[in-house]
Amino acid sequence: MNFKNITKPAANKIIIVAGLIFIAVFCFAADSENRPVQKSPVPADINSVKKHLTALTQTPEFRNHKNIDQLNAVADYIKEDFSKYGDSTTFQEYNVDSKIYKNIITSFGTEHKKRIIIGAHYDVCGDQQGADDNATGVTALLELARMLKNQKLNYRIDLVAYTLEEPPYFRTENMGSYIHARYLKDHKIDVYGMASVEMIGYFKDEKNSQSYPLGILSWVYGNKGDFITLVKKFGAGDFVNNFSDHFKEANQIKTETFTAPKFVKGTDFSDHLNYWNLGYSALMITDTSFFRNKNYHESTDTLETLDLGRMTKVIDGIFLSLIHLK
C-alpha cells in the first residue's frame, strides 16, 4: 500500500477501525477469564418474567405514542406492580401536543443520597407488540423491583420506565428519558450513574446469527448471537466501569463489553444517550438489537421469539451488580 496516496478521511477511518479492534480484543480478553457463577439470594423467576411479558405485549391496542389510552393502561400496570415493592412509586407526567405522557419511577434504598438509575422504555415503534423492543427491558425492571425489596443497598436505586423513546420522538426533548435526565440535572441530584436495559431477550447459537457495525469485529466476538453486551463510550466513568466489573464477576451469562465512539452505529440507540449528553456515567445492556434480532421494529417481534431462560440470567446479573456495588 502506498501510504502517501491515502486521503485524510481514509486515514482517519483506518485509525478508528484499528482502535476499535484493539479495544475489542482487550475487552474480549478481559471477559474470557474463568469465573465461578455467583448464586443470587433472590433469583429472577421465569414464570414471573413470562407473566409480565404477556401482559405488556398482549394488549388491546399497540402501545405506541398514538394510542395514549393504551400507553396509560400500561403505565398503570407498571405503577401498580412497582408499588408492591418500592419505598416510593410515582408518575412523572409531562405534556406533548396537549397529551399527557408518563414515566413511572420506583425507588429503593431511599436513605441514601447518591442514586443509580436503571431505565427501560415501554412504548413501541408503530403497530407491533415489541416483545424484545422493549417489553424485555420493562419486564427486567418489574422483576428487579421484586428482587430488590428488603435488600441492603449502598446506593439509592431508581427504576424508571420511560415513555416516548421510539420515533417520532427519538433524539428529541420529548423522550421520557430526556425529561427524567433533565430533571435530575436541573435539581442537582447526586447521580452515580445510569444503565439502559434495551432488548435483552433474543439469543441465537447458530453461526452467522450475529452482525456488527464493523464486520471485522466478528473476528473478535464471533458470529453467534449468544451473548449479552455492555455498551460503553470512551471515558465511561466510575459507575459504568464498576457496574461492568460486577456484572462480569456475577458470571450469569456470556457477556461482552463494547467500547466505541458515539458515532459508531447503534451505540447510542436508546435512553442512555440523554444521560450521556448531560454528562452522566451511563451504559446500555443489550442483545445488540437489529445487529442480531431481525424482528426489530417488525410485527414479528413477538414473545415466542424470545429466550426467557437467558433473559432471566441477564436480570440476575443486573441484580447481583446492584447489590454488590460499593
Q: What is the pLDDT of residues 170-185, one digit of tens each?
A: 999 999 999 999 999 9
- Residues facing residue 91 across a β-bridge: 104
Rounded to whole angstroms, what are the CA distances from 241 to 15, 236, 244, 318?
25, 7, 5, 14
**Mean of pLDDT values over 166-171:** 98
Instruction: Give 262's pLDDT tier (boundaries 50, 70, 90).
Output: confident
Q: What is the pLDDT of residue 4?
A: 35
Would you state the pLDDT for residue 11?
43
3-state SS assignment for residue 237: coil
Domains in the chain, please, with CATH?
3-324 (3.40.630.10)
Q: Does the pLDDT of residue 2 top 90, yes or no? A: no
**Amino acid 26: pLDDT:** 45
Render pLDDT for 226-257 as a digit per residue (tens, 0 to 9): 999 999 999 999 999 999 999 999 999 999 99
Reported as a single tens digit per residue, the pLDDT across 27-72 is 443 444 578 999 999 999 999 999 999 999 999 999 999 999 999 9
6 has a pLDDT exceeding 70: no
pLDDT band at 202 (very low <50, low <70, confident <90, very high): very high
Q: What is the pTM of this model?
A: 0.91
Quote the CA–CA distance of 228 and 246 in Å, as a whole number.
14
The DSSP call for residue 122 is -
* 13 pLDDT more than 80: no
| Residue showing cell 435483552 | 200
Q: Would you say the C-alpha torsion 105, 120, 94, 64 has a positive or negative sign?
A: negative
What is residue 7's predicted lDDT score, i.e. its pLDDT?
Answer: 47
How high is the pLDDT of residue 84? 98
120, 162 Cβ separation under 8 angstroms? yes
Burial of residue 196 (number of CB atoms within 10 Å: 0-12, 13-18, 19+): buried
- Counting residues of the chain whose pLDDT is more than 70, the rounded percentage is 90
Q: What is the pLDDT of residues 107-149, one digit of tens each?
A: 999 999 999 999 999 999 999 999 999 999 999 999 999 999 9
**pLDDT, averaged across the chain:** 92
